[in-house]
Amino acid sequence: MKSSKSIISTLIKQRYIFKLLVIRDFKSRYLSSFIGLPWAFIQPTAYVFVIWFAFTFGLKGGQTASGGEFAPWLILGLIPWLFISQTMVVSSNSISQYSYLLKKTKFPVGMIPIIKIFSGMIVHIILIILILFVIVFFYGIQPTVYWFQIFYYLFALIVLLTGISWFVASVNVFIHDMAHIVTILITMLFWATPIVWSYTMLTGKLKYIALLNPFFYITEGYRYTFLEQRWFFEFPEMNIFFWTFTLLIFILGAYTFNKLSPSFADVL
């Protein structure tokens, strides 16, 4: 807990620098190419379209288990997953990318992985807004009070990704295989998490594979918010497991980062 408080306290004190670095990272990631910002949306749009086409026409997933439209259900599960997977990948190499700051200044290194999270969050929020326009105008889904619940899930997503990012970023400095391990895990988790398939396909105790999956908590939460009109507190078991797991990962990530960070400059 002391490690977590230390990093968060530093982040609050250096919030102005943090804001500038988030904007700079966003520009370097999305505005430095010839096409620029549209690349941030071309890739996820192409990915979502391919998955949607395959499951709509190839595997005949025309409707959800509840009888609703399959396309918005699928898209709203893929959008948070794309943010999760991309953030985990870029966070792995974040310390190496900002190594020049560690060598020249006494920089609060704990904020580096979080910079990647908030830089990607900008695109994620814009993408959510665009998707909402699509489901409203093309699928007739009307805005409800449940939509305000997205702020809760964004907060939960930030806490979860912060712990993961601290851990993978710090370990990757010393074990470069971590970035490759993360890529493999992302592929496995994509198919293991009920994103393109419904968790109702699981029966008995097998349902807990999905219900106690922290990533499924987020992806399904987006569907509860925009499609199914259900509050997050209606699922106490999922809430307890998610926050227990997330806080443990958060503390583990902060502890690992604090233990390894004094040696970053020497290794890099």
Mean pLDDT of the chain: 82
**For residues 89-103, average pLDDT:** 83
- Cα 203 from chain centroid (whole Å): 28
Give tens-digit pLDDT for 108-164: 788 888 999 998 898 889 888 888 888 888 878 888 999 999 999 999 999 999 999
In this predicted structure, what is the pLDDT of residue 28? Answer: 77
Helices (H), the chain: 2-13, 15-30, 39-53, 70-92, 94-97, 99-104, 112-139, 150-174, 177-192, 207-211, 214-223, 236-260, 264-267
**DSSP letter string over 166-226?**
HHHHHHHHH-THHHHHHHHHHHHHHHHSTTSS-GGGS-GGGHHHHHT-HHHHHHHHHHIII
Q: pLDDT at position 268, please?
A: 65
Rounded to an integer, the average pLDDT of 193-204 is 81
Distance CA 54, CA 31 (A): 31
Residue 59, pLDDT > 60, answer no
pLDDT per residue as tens digits for the range 20-43: 888 888 777 766 665 666 666 677
Average pLDDT over residues 56-81: 71
- List the chain domain ranges: 2-267
pLDDT at 105 over 80: no
* CA 61 – CA 53 distance, rounded (Å): 10
Is residue 65's pLDDT more than 60? no
Q: How far, in whole angstroms, is CA 221 from its chain's centroid?
A: 13
Query: Per mean pLDDT, which of 43-52, 95-104, 182-191 is the most reliable?
Result: 182-191
Let me know: does 123 contact 41? Beta carbons within 8 Å: yes
Q: Is the pLDDT of residue 3 over 60?
A: no
pLDDT attached to residue 64: 58
